[in-house]
Chain A
Amino acid sequence: MHKAENCPACHRQVSDDVLKKYQMVCPECGFHHRLDAAQRIEQIADAGSFKEFSAELCSKNPIELDGYAEKLRQNQKQSSMNEAVVTGTCTIEGLGAVLAVMSFDFMGGSMGSVVGEKITQAMFQGALSDSPVIIFTASGGARMQEGIFSLMQMAKTASAAALLEQTGVPLFIVLTHPTTGGVTASFAMLGDVIIAEPGALIGFAGPRVIEGTIGQKLPEGFQKSEFQLKKGFVDAIVPRDKLRTQLSFLMRTHVGVKHEQDA
C-alpha cells in the first residue's frame, strides 16, 4: 500500500510511508500532521513501556441531552478510543513519567467529566509516584454536551495542578494543534514548562469567534505557536523529531525539587 496524499500546507504529494518515517511531519515543508493518541504514545514513550490506567472510565449523559449517548458510541467506534484522552505510565529515554495524550479525533478532544477525571488522576498519580506529568493537549474546549459539568472540569484540573505544584512534582505541557477554549483556560496554561509544536493553533476564543467580534479577518499567524512564543505564553517551540530528547532533558533537570517532609 503506497497511498499518497497532498500536504495541506505545501500541497506536494507525500506518500504515507514517507510521512510515517518522518513522524507525520511533511519532509518538504515541515507541516505537522495531527496525531492520534496511539501514534503520539508510540513516538514519545520507550517501546513497550506505556501502561494505560483509568481506561475503564466512560462518559455518562449528565444533562440527559438528546443524541449525546449515540454521539459517544459513534466516536468510540470510529476512533477505537474510549474517550478523548489516554493516560498511563511510561518511560522516556529510561526515565519514568506519567503521560496523558489528548486526541482531537474523539469529539474534537473536548473535555467532559471523563477527560477532567483522567487528567486529574494522572496528576495525582504523578504526585504519588514522584514522576513528572507530561500532558499533550489537543482540544476544541469544554464538551458542551455535558453542560455545566464540563465547565467544572476546568476548575477540577486547575485545582489538581495546584496540588501537584505543592508536591513539587513537575508538570510539562505540550500544546499541539489545536488547543483552544476551556483546555487552554485551565491545565494547558499551568505547566511548569509549556512547549508547543510548530504551527499549532493555541488560544481561548476560536478565530471565527474573534473575527465575529472585531468584524475583520485576523492577521496571518494569529494564535499560532510562533505568535504565542512571541507573546510570552509558551516556553519553547519544539519540532516533533526533537520532542523526546527535549522532554527527557526537562525530566533530568527537574529532579530533587521535592519538598522536604517533616520528620
Chain B
Amino acid sequence: MNKTHEELLKTSVTRLEEIAISDPRTKERSSWDCVLLSRQQGRPGAATYIDLICDEFMELHGDRTYGDDPAMIGGIGTIGGRAITFIGNRKGMNLRENIERNYGMSNPEGYRKALRLAKQAEKFGRPVVCFIDTPGAFPGLGAEERGIGEAIARNLKEFSTLKVPVLSFIIGEGGSGGALGIGVGDKLYMLENAVYSVITPEGFASILLRDPSRAQEAAEAMKMTARDLKRFNIIHDIIPEVPEGAHKDPLFTANAIKETILKDLDVLCAKPAANLVRYRIRKIRGIGEFEGSEAWWTTLMEVFKLTVDLR
C-alpha cells in the first residue's frame, strides 16, 4: 500500500499538531517525530542563533571564485569581546525565503565560501562555529558542473587540520555529505530534536526498503536522533530544547548553545594548535565498527612524526 505524497504530508502535519499538544517529558520522542520537528517551518535556523548569541555580527559573502551561495551564511561575530567566525546552512523561515535559499541545499560555492572563511579565521586565530541545518548538498546540474564532490571533499580535508578550534552544532536536519561538509571539527553537538544521517529517511526507504512511503520505519531503523548518536559516541553532547521544540523558545536553546561555545572555547583556545589538530584527527580516525582492528594509535603517532606541523 503506497501512500501518496499528499497523504504523507497530511499525516506529517497532523502529527506535528499532535506533538505540539503532547507532553514529551512523559516519554521519549520517536525518530520520526524528531525528523518532523527538525524540518518544521519556523524552526530557528543559523541566522536566528547567530543573532541571539552574538553581541555584533558582520556577514561576509562569496567564495571569491564563482559567487555567493544564499544557502550558506558566514561571517564574524563577537561574544563578550571574543571574535568568532560563524558558518551555517541557511534554509529561511518561510516559503519565500526557503525558495531564495534553496531550502538550505548548498552549491559548491557555499562550501567554498565556508572554507574561505575558515581559512581566514585560521589566519587571524579566530575559532570557528558551524551551524548545520540542511537536507543535503544540492543535487543539481550546476552543482555537479562546478564540482560539489570536490568542494565537500576539500572541506573535510581542510577542516580536519584547521589550526583553530572548530565547534559544530546540528540545529535541525543533518543531511549526509552536505552536512558533513561543515561538520568536521573538535566538538560536535546536536540539539535535542535534531537528526543526522547518511541519507534522508525517504531516500533510505526508497533504496533499501524499496518503498518511499516507509520513511517513518526507515527513520527508526537508521538511528539518526541525538540520543542514538550520543550512544554511538559520534556527538559529544545534546543541547536541550524546551519540551515543545526549539521553535517555541529560541532564546532558551540559543543560551544553551552560547554557554557551550564559551565553555569549550575557554579550554580549546588554550591548547597549542598541533595538540588540537592531533586530538581532532585521533577522534575522527577512531570512528568505525569492524572486526579485526589493529592497534592504530601507535601507527597514527608514527605518521604524526613524519609531518611538519604535527610531530
B204: chain A residues within 8 A (beta carbon): 144
Q: Which of B156, B181, B292, B310 has the largest number of chain A CB atoms within 10 A?
A: B156
Q: Which of A58, A113, A114, A144 has the largest number of chain B CB atoms within 10 A?
A: A144
A40: chain B residues within 8 A (beta carbon): none
Question: A151 — nearest CB in chain B belongs to which residue?
Answer: B198
Docked complex: B130-162 residues within 8 A CB-CB of A:
137-141, 143-150, 152-154, 156-158, 160-161
Docked complex: A21-65 residues within 8 A CB-CB of B:
54, 56-60, 62-63, 65
Q: How many residue pairs, one in A and one in B, have C-beta atoms under 8 Å apart? A: 212
B299: chain A residues within 8 A (beta carbon): 121, 124, 128
B291: chain A residues within 8 A (beta carbon): 56-60
Bound CA–CA A186/B152 (angstroms)? 7
* Cross-chain contact A210 with B307 (CB below 8 angstroms): no
* Cross-chain contact A158 with B153 (CB below 8 angstroms): yes
* Cross-chain contact A162 with B158 (CB below 8 angstroms): yes
- Segment touching B, from A8-16, A187-195, A248-256: A187-195
B215: chain A residues within 8 A (beta carbon): none
Q: Which of A113, A146, A205 has the largest number of chain B CB atoms within 10 A?
A: A205
Interface membership of B196, Cβ < 8 A: yes
Interface membership of B284, Cβ < 8 A: yes
Contact flags (1/0) for B156-194 with A, using CB distance below 8 Å? 111011000000000000001100110110000000000
* Cross-chain contact B148 with A205 (CB below 8 angstroms): yes
* Cross-chain contact B289 with A188 (CB below 8 angstroms): no
Docked complex: A107-121 residues within 8 A CB-CB of B:
113-114, 116-117, 120-121
B124: chain A residues within 8 A (beta carbon): none
Question: B204 — nearest CB in chain A belongs to which residue?
Answer: A144
Interface membership of B288, Cβ < 8 A: yes
A222: chain B residues within 8 A (beta carbon): 141, 144
Interface membership of A153, Cβ < 8 A: yes
Bound CA–CA A145/B199 (angstroms)? 10
Nearest chain A CB to B146 CB, angstrom units = 8
Interface membership of A209, Cβ < 8 A: yes
Bound CA–CA A189/B292 (angstroms)? 28
* Cross-chain contact A155 with B160 (CB below 8 angstroms): yes
* Cross-chain contact A147 with B198 (CB below 8 angstroms): yes
A54: chain B residues within 8 A (beta carbon): 294
A181: chain B residues within 8 A (beta carbon): 177
Nearest chain A CB to B252 CB, angstrom units = 27
B280: chain A residues within 8 A (beta carbon): 159
Interface membership of B309, Cβ < 8 A: yes
* Cross-chain contact A57 with B221 (CB below 8 angstroms): no
Docked complex: B94-141 residues within 8 A CB-CB of A:
137-141
Docked complex: B263-292 residues within 8 A CB-CB of A:
280-281, 284-285, 287-292
* Cross-chain contact A63 with B153 (CB below 8 angstroms): no
Given A124-B303, A153-B288, A148 and B224 contact (CB-CB distance below 8 Å): yes
Nearest chain A CB to B65 CB, angstrom units = 12
B198: chain A residues within 8 A (beta carbon): 142, 144, 146-148, 150-151, 182
Please pick, from B156, B197, B232, the residue contacting A159 in the complex, using a CB distance under 8 A. B156
Interface membership of B223, Cβ < 8 A: yes
Docked complex: A82-116 residues within 8 A CB-CB of B:
113-114, 116
Question: A126 — nearest CB in chain B belongs to which residue?
Answer: B303
Interface membership of B229, Cβ < 8 A: yes
Question: B160 — nearest CB in chain A belongs to which residue?
Answer: A159
* Cross-chain contact B288 with A185 (CB below 8 angstroms): no
Bound CA–CA A150/B192 (angstroms)? 22
Nearest chain A CB to B176 CB, angstrom units = 6
Docked complex: B229-276 residues within 8 A CB-CB of A:
229, 232, 234
Interface membership of B306, Cβ < 8 A: yes
Question: A56 — nearest CB in chain B belongs to which residue?
Answer: B292
Please pick, from A114, A127, A147, the residue contacting B306 in the complex, using a CB distance under 8 A. A127
Bound CA–CA A185/B177 (angstroms)? 7
A and B contact pairs by CB, cutoff 8 A, 7 listed: A117-B293, A148-B232, A159-B157, A161-B157, A162-B157, A185-B181, A209-B139
Q: Hey, which bits of chain B sit against chain A, CB under 8 A?
A: 137-141, 143-150, 152-154, 156-158, 160-161, 176-177, 180-181, 183-184, 196-199, 204, 207-208, 221-224, 228-229, 232, 234, 280-281, 284-285, 287-294, 296, 299-300, 302-304, 306-310
A-B residue pairs, 5 tightest by C-beta:
A205-B139, A158-B156, A113-B288, A159-B160, A184-B149
Q: Hey, which bits of chain A sit against chain B, CB under 8 A?
A: 54, 56-60, 62-63, 65-66, 113-114, 116-117, 120-121, 124, 127-128, 142, 144-156, 158-163, 165-167, 181-182, 184-190, 203-205, 209-210, 212-214, 218, 222-223, 231-233, 259, 261
Supplied contacts A149-B289, A159-B156, A159-B285, 12 more A-B pairs, CB within 8 Å: A54-B294, A57-B291, A57-B292, A66-B221, A127-B303, A127-B306, A128-B302, A149-B232, A149-B287, A156-B285, A159-B284, A204-B137
